[in-house]
Amino acid sequence: MIEFVNITQSSRKPSTSPFFPSFCGILPFFGLKGGLPSYVILSAVLIKGTMSYQQFGRARSYGARPRPSFYRGPQRSTINPARYRNVAVEQKNDQPQYAVQHTFNDFGLHPQVMANITRHEYTTPTPIQDQTILPLMQGRDVVGIANTGTGKTAAFLLPLIHKVANDSNQGVLILAPTHELAKQIYDEFRIFAAGMPIGGCMCIGGTNLDRQMRELKQNPHFVIGTPGRVKDMINRRVFDTSIFTNVVLDEVDRMLDIGFLQDIRFLISTLPKQRQSAFFSATMNRQTEEVMRNFLTNPLQFSIRTQETSNHIHQDVVKVLPGENKVDILHNLLQQQNFGKVLVFGRTKHGINKLERQLSDRGLRVSSIHGNKSHNARQRSLEMFKRGRVQALLATDVAARGIDVEDVTHVINYDEPQTFDDYTHRIGRTGRAGKTGVALTFV
């Protein structure tokens, strides 16, 4: 607020500023008579206008959306650093494990689906597949909770492909939070539906829009995509949801974290009232449970999570002392011989970009993956990491969903995760298939 001071006529002094006479010359245009009070009033108006321009006008000129006044940026982690420590131990055979009850032959899947399973060298169902395939084939709503890398994708793809094979009027909508996860699901769909008259379409941002519109107009049985792009297709009236009586939400918690709740509600509202729904995720929280209650009907819930974090991942902290440079510490770690294939997590896109430049300038082979990169650029980075062309992949939590890379030796939390569920997801990228991995967190 600007306070105006009452200055009497006798106390006024002539202005010595060369700007003041010319400035007063424009006062009549604003309905002001001149003098110092008018000068003060007009100055306040111009200052306010300049501030408004800087806050909103310049942002709009670059196509950016002005941040709301309550925006506070990424929040600091509230996790006790002691939870980042765990000594890896060998897996013991006497530890209680889930006993698989079925073989793939027991499910009664379509013969071509069975042939594709054999070709894919699947021999025994994983625990989450063992529990969820039959209920899904029977038309039940299902919630599946399992750690990353336990076969959740096949757990819903196999029964739904079987369902469509027996009734070509069925349609399946599968939503995932990121491009990478949607592509991973689509790739597995093509494997298990090979040789069958079942069409599929992948709808994600950053890829050819016209091609996706053409494919949707052909009425594919499976539509696999991210909520934003699928909603866009509905609004463009090229995606008819009337036959999509089956819906799968994968990594529901992450979709809610990203802010897809309203899009999910919109998409579900366009589907037939009589439908089969399935939710799959590695973690569940209160908000996810609320979504379950609203969207599912008498669901069966299965949980295959033996521990919060795997015992075969050695977890420790890297203390950054005052005056030390985090980039120097990370650089020294990556120069060690046993750091062969490293996944580095940061909190923001800008931070990841900056870290990539700094490490590249030091001669390290790194690449990055985050939401601001195009789909093709993200896929190139991921393929280089998979093939060992780069030593380290730098990623944000959102973009990392769907990263499925074998033999990751280390996960480094360059920035601490905001929640322990995020921490679990991050370190779950190493130590897979019974192998020992290492997770380090900078604190």
**pLDDT tens, N- to C-terminus, the chain (443 residues):** 333 333 333 344 444 444 444 444 544 544 555 555 555 554 554 544 444 434 433 333 333 334 433 334 445 566 777 777 775 544 444 445 778 899 999 999 999 999 999 998 888 999 999 999 999 999 999 999 876 677 889 999 999 999 999 999 999 999 998 888 899 899 999 999 999 999 999 999 878 899 999 999 999 999 999 999 999 999 999 998 888 999 999 988 778 766 788 888 888 889 888 999 998 877 777 777 877 887 888 999 998 764 545 677 899 999 999 999 999 999 999 999 999 999 999 989 999 999 999 999 999 999 998 878 877 888 888 889 988 999 999 998 865 666 778 889 999 999 998 888 788 878 888 887 667 899 999 99
**Eight-class DSSP state of 3:** P
Cβ(250)–Cβ(181) below 8 Å? yes
Which residues does 421 contact at the CB level (< 8 Å), separation at least 6?
A: 253, 282, 283, 285
Cβ(245)–Cβ(276) below 8 Å? yes
Tell me the pTM.
Answer: 0.66
Angular region, 434: left φ>0, alpha ψ -120 to 50, beta rest: left
191-211 burial, b at 16+ Cβ within 10 Å, e below that, comes to: ebbeebebebbbbbbbbeeee
CA–CA distance, 385 with 380 (Å, rounded to integer) = 9
CA–CA distance, 143 with 306 (Å, rounded to integer) = 17
SS3 79: coil
